[in-house]
Amino acid sequence: MELAKRVQTLTPSSTLAITAMANALKAEGHDVIGLGAGEPDFNTPAHILEAAKEAMDKGYTKYTPSGGVPALKEAIVHKYKQDNDLTYETNQVIVTTGAKHALYTLFQTLLDPGEEVIVPAPYWVSYPEQIKLAEGTPVFITTNEETNFKLTPDQLEASITDRTKAIIINSPSNPTGMLYSKEELAAIGAVCLRHNVMIVSDEIYEQLIYGDEQHTSIAQISNELKNITIVINGVSKSHAMTGWRIGYALGNEKVIKAMTNLASHSTSNPTTISQYAALAAYTSSQEKVEEMKEAFAERLERLYEWITAIPGVYCEKPKGAFYLFPNVREAVQANGFDSVDDWVKAILEEEKVALVPGSGFGSPDNVRLSYATSLDQLEEAATRINRFVQKHQ
Ligand code: PLP
Please list the residues that pair with 169 across neighbouring strands: 201
Q: Specify the ligand 1 atom closest to the Cα of 202.
A: 1
Residue nearest to atom 8 of ligand 1 (CA): 38
Please tell me the distance from the alpha carbon of residue 217 to that of residue 85, in angstroms, as a whole number.
10
| Architecture category of domain 62-283 in CATH | 3-Layer(aba) Sandwich (3.40)
User: By C-alpha distance, which of 129, 128, 138, 204 is closest to 171?
Assistant: 204
Residue nearest to atom 12 of ligand 1 (CA): 99
- Eight-state DSSP code of residue 358: G
pTM: 0.97
- Indicate if ligand 1 lies below 6 Å from the C-beta of 351: no
- Indicate if ligand 1 lies below 6 Å from the C-beta of 242: yes
Please tell me the distance from the alpha carbon of residue 244 to that of residue 248, in angstroms, as a whole number.
13
| Architecture category of domain 5-43+288-391 in CATH | Alpha-Beta Complex (3.90)
- Indicate if ligand 1 lies below 6 Å from the C-beta of 247: yes
* CATH 3.90.1150.10 location in the chain: 5-43+288-391
- Indicate if ligand 1 lies below 6 Å from the C-beta of 40: no
Q: Is the ipTM of this complex over 0.95?
A: yes
Render pLDDT for 181-238 as a digit per residue (tens, 0 to 9): 999 999 999 999 999 999 999 999 999 999 888 999 999 999 999 999 999 999 999 9
Percentage helix, strand, coil for the chain under 3-state DSSP, each rounded to 5: 50, 15, 35
- Neighbouring residues of 75: CB distance < 8 A, sequence distance ≥ 6: 278, 279, 282, 283
Classified as helix, coil or strand, 39 is coil
Render pLDDT for 191-205 as a digit per residue (tens, 0 to 9): 999 999 999 999 999
* CATH 3.40.640.10 location in the chain: 62-283
b/e per residue 218-252 (b: at least 16 CB within 10 A) = bbbbeeebbebbbbbbbbbbbbbbbebbbbbbbbb
Q: 68: CA distance to ligand 1 center in Å?
A: 19
Q: Specify the ligand 1 atom closest to the Cα of 99.
A: 15
Side-chain half-sphere CA neighbours of 104 within 13 A: 16
Q: 98: CA distance to ligand 1 center in Å?
A: 7
Q: Specify the ligand 1 atom closest to the Cα of 100.
A: 16
Q: Specify the ligand 1 atom closest to the Cα of 242.
A: 14
Render pLDDT for 314-331 as a digit per residue (tens, 0 to 9): 999 999 999 999 999 999
- Eight-state DSSP code of residue 270: S
